Amino acid sequence: MPKLAQKAFTDTYLRSLNPESVRKDHYDAIQRSLGLRVAPSGLKSWFVMRRVNGRMTRTTLGRYPEVPLADARKKAEAVFEEIAKGNSPKKAKVPTFATVLDDWLARDQKGKRSIDEKRRAMTKDALPAFGNRPIDTITRTDIRNLLDSTADRGAPIHANRILAYLRRLFNWAVERDIIASSPVAGIKAPAAERSRDRTLSPDELAAVWQDTYQVPDPFGAFFRMFRKV
């Protein structure tokens, strides 16, 4: 049984709970086993921790403040009544990977310059592999198999991008309490990448300067002006 909080939940107290670098659980001193999880993103989610058949079970009850404190206590009491009758708490329906992907793009990636590239990559590779599966059923092995198949078709750098996008998506899902942990955690990029940073030699710079005189203005002048900066 989790250690109870020393202070009873009030709306003032709940609103004062600020996000930290890691998610943190707070427990109510009035309604036993009722907790509020605060994610690093600031998202606050209700849950109940209760022992069922010898195992600690966590049941989510919704988000705060969409679910008010009084309603959360009532929902917790209903869960306890079901357990007392010998029934396991009903699990909330877990969304599919496709649903979470759409939500992630709309909520977390909206307005970012790379959103179109992420959408194309995920639609081409990740969506066919995971689309209709509940997101909490996707395993590390599934992720590795997808990366291997992408690299084996001759696109190892693209496999790296897929891994980076999946890492962000699953971390976002963890923060929003959609899943408990990320199956991408600890997976290394399938291919090594070389830096493309390179400076032009003096001879190459001189050639660029001379060649721009063959480019009609204003473009040639623009490149020469840019070279001076």
pLDDT band at 2 (very low <50, low <70, confident <90, very high): very low
143-171: b or e for each residue (b if 16 or more CB lie within 10 Å)? Answer: bbebbeebbeeebbebbbbbbebbbbbbb
76-90, 104-118, 200-214, range with the lowest pLDDT: 200-214
From 157, 158, 159, 165, select the one nearest 114 (Cα to Cα): 165
What single DSSP character describes residue 68?
A: -
Question: With 70 as the cut, is the pLDDT of residue 229 above it?
Answer: no
pLDDT in tens, 63-74: 899 999 999 999
Mean local confidence (pLDDT), 48-58: 79
**pLDDT tens per residue, range 170-206:** 999 988 888 878 999 999 998 887 755 555 555 556 6
Mean pLDDT of 212-219: 63
What domains can you pick out in the chain, each with its CATH number? 11-84 (3.30.160.390), 97-175 (1.10.150.130), 199-229 (no CATH)
pLDDT at position 215, please? 60
Mean pLDDT in the chain? 84
Taking CA atoms, 190 is separated from 120, 151, 178, 214, 222, in Å, by: 20, 7, 27, 44, 41
Given this model, what pLDDT does residue 205 score? 62
Strands of the 24-27 sheet, one edge to the other: 24-27, 34-38, 44-52, 55-64
Put residue 64 in one of left, alpha, beta given phi > 0 → left and psi -120 to 50 → alpha.
beta
- Considering only CA atoms, which of 75, 77, 79 is closest in space to residue 67? 75
Residue indicated by tokens 């990029």 = 189
What average pLDDT does range 200-228 have in this prediction? 59
Q: Is the pTM of this model over 0.85?
A: no
- Any long-range contacts for 202-209 (C-beta under 8 Å, 24+ apart)? none
Lowest mean pLDDT among 31-35, 98-102, 105-109, 118-122: 31-35
**Which runs of consecutive H residues, i.e. helices, occur in the chain?**
11-15, 69-84, 97-107, 115-121, 127-130, 140-152, 156-175, 202-211, 219-228
* Cβ neighbours of residue 127 closer than 8 Å, sequence gap 6 or more: 97, 98, 101
Which sign does the torsion angle of CA 62, 65, 67, 71 carry?
positive
56 or 183: which leads in pLDDT: 183
Separation between Cα atoms, residue 188 and residue 186, nearest integer Å: 6
